[in-house]
Amino acid sequence: MPVVGDSGVGSDWEYLRKKELAGEIISLISSDFNGNADQITYTVPSGKRFFFMKAKLYPVVDTVHGETTVIGATSNRRAFISITFDGVVKDILTHDEESRTTYGSYSPGLTTANTGQYESNFFGSILGDGIKQVKLTSTNTSGTYRVSLLGWIE
């Protein structure tokens, strides 16, 4: 986790420690959700710059449907989380899980396939004016999830 420290002095962890002691670390986590809405909204204070470090998507519960007697039944659980700076999409976190019931007299079971990006992979900042916001917004949601946001201001 490379982070630029104060004038290159000290380690990344020392830099973050100083930010934490100064009350400049922003760490937010949503409640459980299963619908489409803004899950985290952080308004950047006027004159401060928010430095985005990480966002994560967490599937909260077993997202596969329970046992069914319908052979060949398919279910899908998914969530798309847009990370926006003042309305501009910077990254999208995704979870997509397909499951297919194969229960039968000779081959009981459930096959699943999971794909997704559960952690952001960009670094950016936004200068606040007391109105600009960083948002994590869920769309196309089926299942139960949480999201988190981590960064700092200066």
pLDDT score at 1: 46
Per-residue model confidence as pLDDT tens digits over 133-152: 999 999 999 989 999 999 99
Give the chain's end-to-end CA distance (angstroms, integer): 19
Strands (E), 30-142: 37-43, 49-59, 74-85, 88-101, 110-117, 124-127, 133-142
Domain spans of the chain? Answer: 6-153
Per-residue model confidence as pLDDT tens digits over 13-28: 999 999 999 999 999 9
Is the domain spanning 6-153 CATH 2.60.470? The answer is no
Residue 103 vs residue 118, higher pLDDT: 118
pLDDT score at 69: 52
